[in-house]
Amino acid sequence: MTFAGAEGGCDCGKIRYRLEAEPIVLKCCHCHACQRQSGSAFALNLVIETANVALLGEAPEVVEMATLSGHGQANARCPHCRVSVWSTFHQAGDKARFVRAGTLDETRGLVPDLHIFTKAKQDWVVIPEGAEAFEAFYRGKDVVRVFGAENAARWKAVLER
């Protein structure tokens, strides 16, 4: 699936965005916080540089939320329909957005590059054989293998503040 040029938004349509590049990585997080926040079994996030997300509609409302890391996140929600369109995890700084993949206009063909916090996944969720999966968070040594060299360099640039 090609993401560059893809558009998405909230349920009521007041927040719209366009991805100006391919994401760095597509993560499926199975942690309990993501389950609670999404009201589902996991959260599917496209990680992309903030500069590569063009806001086409109204600006979202930012809600601060706690995370297990203790660094917290800023969750961007529509102030009208309350749909979460992306988060900024403070541990990574404000140079990356974790766009909720389900808010894209076209969601067919979404396949995660990796699954994290699988220790907390729902028992009925089956992770495909051979998929990159981590019981908690992946380690720095895994980034190049999982993200690919080019995307690992993009991620490194995001982390350099």
pTM for the model stands at 0.92
Q: SS in 3 state form for the chain?
A: CCCCCCEEECCCCCCEEEECCCCCEEEEECCHHHHHHHCCCCEEEEEEEHHHEEECCCCCEEEEECCCCCCCEEEEECCCCCCEEEEEECCCCCCEEEEEHHHECCCCCCCCCEEECHHHCCCCCCCCCCCEECCCCCCHHHHHHHHCHHHHHHHHHHHCC
Per-residue confidence of the chain (161 residues) as pLDDT tens digits? 789 999 999 999 999 999 999 999 999 999 888 888 888 999 999 999 999 999 999 999 999 887 767 778 899 999 999 999 999 988 778 899 999 999 999 999 899 999 999 999 999 999 999 999 999 888 889 999 999 999 999 999 998 86
CA distance 128 to 132: 9
CATH class of 7-159: alpha beta
Q: Rounded to the nearest 5°, which phi and psi values hold at 99?
A: -75, 130
